[in-house]
Structure 1
Amino acid sequence: MRALPRMSRAGKIMTAIVLLVLGLPFLAGLLGGFERTDGGQVAVVRNGGFFDNTRIRQVIDPGSGRVWTGWWSKVHKYPAQQRFYTITANRGEGDRGGGVDVVTVPSSDGVNMGIEGTLYFTLNTDHEVLKKFDDKFGTRKFRAPGGKTYFAWEGDEGWSAFLNQIVRPVIDNNLRSQINSFRCAELVSSCALVQNTGSTSRRQRTGLQVQSNNANIAKVQDAINRQLAADLRTTLGGDFLINIHFNLVKVSLPQRVQAAVDRAQAAFAQVSEAQAKVEQARLEAAANKARQDGYNKCPTCAEIEKLKALPQGITVYAPGNPGGALLPRN
C-alpha cells in the first residue's frame, strides 16, 4: 500500500489559517446566539446572518432566561418599565443635555411663560405593537443634543435621543396650545402687577388683587393629559407609549418680566409703608389732641403728669418760677 505524501510545513500553515477563518465566525455565531433580558428590558430580535434577511425573528419578554436567538442575529433592547422625561430649569437635571431646559410659550395676552414639568410613560410591550415600533423607530438613528447619532435601543443615550427628536416636539406643541388659552395673570398672579395701569379704581376693576391660580394650573395639566396621549398616538403612528401622564411643575415669567414684577412689588411695599406712617401720624395727632383737651379741662391733672415725668431724686420743684430750682436728693 502506497503511503500518503506528508504535508509540507507551508501546507499545514495554510490549512490552519483556513480553519481559523471558517471556525471563528462559526464559534462567534454559536456563542452569540444566546441572549437574555433584565427585569426592566424587553428585546426585539432581528435576523442578521450572512445569507439571512433582517426581518424580526422574535420578542424576548422582560426578565427572561437565556434563549436561542439564531445565528448572528441582532438584539434591540428597549426599556420595559415606567420612564420619564423631565423639562426643568435646574442645570443638569433635565433630559435635553446638561443645560437649562424650559419650554417657552406665549399666554393668550402675549406674555412668554416658562413651563417646567415631567412626562411619565411606559413603552407598550405587546409583541405585535413592539414589532411595529422596532420597524418604525428601531431601524434609524436619532440625533442627540451633542450632535452624535444613536439608535433608540443603544442604551440611555439612544433612548434619550429618540425622545428628544420625536417626543419632545409633541410636548412643546401641546404645551403651546394649552397655555395659549389662558391669560398670564390666570397662571401667575404677580403678572397683574405689571399688566394693570391707570387709576386706582381701574386697577381694582382689572383684578390687581392677587388670587390663587392653582385651579387654573390644574386645568392646564388636565387638558395636557387629555390631549397629549392623542397627539403622541397620531405623531408616532400607533399606541407605542401608554400610561401617559404629564405633571406640570412650574410656570414662570421671563427674566425681564419678573424683574418688572419685583420692582412693582417693591413699589407697592413702599406705598404701604408710607400709608402706614401716615395712619400712625394721624392716630398720634388724634391722641395728642384728646390728651390736650383733657388737660384743658383738668389743669391739675396736667401738673400731676408733669410731676410723674420728673427724674428720680428730685426734692424741690418750682413750676412757673424763673428762679425755681431742682435740687437733687442727698
Structure 2
Amino acid sequence: MNTSQYRRAPAGMPSGVPSRAFAIVGSVLAAVLVLIVAAGALVSGFDKTAGGEVGVVRNGGWLDDNRVRQVVPAGSARTWTGLYSTMHRYPAQQRFYTITADPARGDKTGVDVVNTPSSDGVEMGIEGTIYFTLNLNAKALEQFDTKFGTRQFRGVDGTLRYAYDGDEGWSSFLDAIVRPVIDNDLRIQISKFRCAELVSSCALVQNGAQRAPAAGPGDPDAAGQANNTNIAKVQEAVNESLPKDLAEMLGGDFFEGIKFNLARVTLPQAVQEAVNKAQAAYAAVSEAQAKVAQARAEADANKTRQQGYNACSACAQIDIIKALPPGVTTYAPGAGATVPLK
C-alpha cells in the first residue's frame, strides 16, 4: 500500500488549510479582475469631441437598444456617453467638394470633371468647388445619422466605409449621395446655353464660324465679357437650385451655407485642338494681311518718291549718295564722271 497518499499535515496546522487558502486567493483574484473590467467599462463610458467634429452617440450595451442616445457638440469636455455606447463623429466646420481636372486637387482620384452638353450639343467640361457646412442642430444630426450613418458607401478604391469613417468615409458618402445632385444641377443649367455663349472660341469650329467675328478678328473683349456674364448666370442658378435639390434628395436640411463657385468651363480635347488650329489659321491670315498692307504702303511711298525725283533729278543723285555704304571715297555716276566724297 502507498502510504504517501495519507501524509499528515505538519504539526500544529489543521487539515484543509491549504485548500481554504487557495480558495481565498482565487476569490480575491476574481474580485480584482471584476473590478478591473468594471473600471475599464466605466472609463470607456466617457468620451469627448475635437474642435472640428460633432459626435452622435448610439446605445450599445448588452441589454440596451441601438438608438441615438445624445449629440455631443464640437470641442466638448469629457462627457458621460453610457456603457458600451458608440460615437459617430462628423465634421463640424465648413467643408468643400472640389471638381477639377487637376488630379492633385480633386476629391476623387484622378481627373474629375463634370461633362455635360450645351444646348447645341457640345460636350462641356465644368470645374468648380462646392462649400457647405453640416447642419449642427441636434435633431437634424440624429436624422442624418439614422439615414446615412447606418449604411456603408463604396469609395473609389472599392472599400465600403461609413460616413463617419474619417475623411475617406466622408468622401465616399459625398461621392455616392451628394455628387449626383451636383451633376444634375450643372447639367440643367449648362443645357440652357450654347457652347459659344460660355467659351467664345467655340464659334471657330462650329457651322458659320466665318460669321462669328467675336472669336476671330473682331472684338474678343466684348465676347469675353459676355461669356463671363453667362458663366456668372450659371453659378447663380446653381447656388439657387442646389440647396433645394439637396434637401429634397437627402430628405432633410442636412447642409447649410451651400455655395458653388464655378472655376472654369472647358472644351473636349478634340474640340480644343480644332480651336487651336483655327486660331493658328486666323493668325496666319492676319500675318498675310499685314504683309499685303505693308507692301501696298511701300509701293505708295515709292510712287510718291519717284514723282519727286522726276521733278528734281539732282535730288535723286543726292539720295543715291546718301545711300552709299561707309568707306566709299569716290562716286562714279557714269559717262566718265566722278564725284569725290571726301
When normalised by structure 1's length, the TM-score is 0.90
Match of 2:5?
A: none
Q: CA deviation at 1:5?
A: 6.1
CA 1:3 to 1:235, structure 2 compared with 1: closer, same or farther past 3 Å?
farther
Match of 1:267?
A: 281
Based on CA coordinates, which of the two structures has the bigger radius of gyration? 2
- Equivalents in 2 of 1:53, 1:31: separation in Å? 21
Q: State the Cα RMSD in Å.
A: 2.6
Report the number of matched residues.
324
The equivalent position to 2:296 in structure 1, one of 282, 289, 300, is: 282
The one-character-per-residue Cα deviations of 1:294-314 (angstroms, maximum 9, x if unpaired) are 111111211221222234455
The equivalent position to 1:77 in structure 2, one of 84, 89, 92, is: 89
The equivalent position to 1:146 in structure 2, one of 153, 157, 163, is: 157
Partner of 1:78: helix, strand, or coil? Answer: strand
Match of 1:134?
A: 145
The equivalent position to 1:29 in structure 2, one of 38, 41, 49, is: 41
- Find out whether 1:183 has 2:194 as its counterpart: yes
Partner of 2:111: helix, strand, or coil? Answer: coil
Give the 5 Å matches for 1:85-124. Answer: 85-97=97-109, 99-124=110-135
CA contact (8 A) 1:84 1:120 kept: yes
- Equivalents in 2 of 1:52, 1:237: separation in Å? 28
Q: CA deviation at 1:327?
A: 6.9
Q: Output the amino acid matched with 2:104.
A: G
Q: CA deviation at 1:193?
A: 1.0
Q: Output the amino acid matched with 2:180.
A: P
Q: Output the amino acid matched with 1:154.
A: D
Partner of 1:243: helix, strand, or coil? Answer: strand
CA contact (8 A) 2:99 2:129 kept: yes
Q: CA deviation at 1:206?
A: 9.9
- Equivalents in 2 of 1:92, 1:206: separation in Å? 32
The farther-off stretch of 296-305 and 3-12 is 3-12
The equivalent position to 1:158 in structure 2, one of 169, 188, 192, is: 169
Match of 1:296?
A: 310
Q: CA deviation at 1:318?
A: 3.8
CA contact (8 A) 1:196 1:208 kept: no
Match of 1:220?
A: 234
When normalised by structure 2's length, the TM-score is 0.87
Q: CA deviation at 1:78?
A: 0.8
- Equivalents in 2 of 1:313, 1:38: separation in Å? 88
Partner of 1:115: helix, strand, or coil? Answer: strand
CA 1:56 to 1:89, structure 2 compared with 1: closer, same or farther past 3 Å?
same
Q: CA deviation at 1:195?
A: 1.1
Q: CA deviation at 1:40?
A: 1.2
Partner of 1:110: helix, strand, or coil? Answer: coil
Q: CA deviation at 1:39?
A: 1.5
- Find out whether 1:169 has 2:183 as its counterpart: no
- Find out whether 1:246 has 2:260 as its counterpart: yes
Partner of 2:19: helix, strand, or coil? Answer: coil
CA contact (8 A) 1:119 1:245 kept: yes
- Find out whether 1:319 has 2:333 as its counterpart: yes
Runs of 5+ consecutive residues of structure 2 not aligned to the other structure: 1-13
Identity rate, percent? 56
Runs of 5+ consecutive residues of structure 1 not aligned to the other structure: none
The farther-off stretch of 239-248 and 187-196 is 187-196
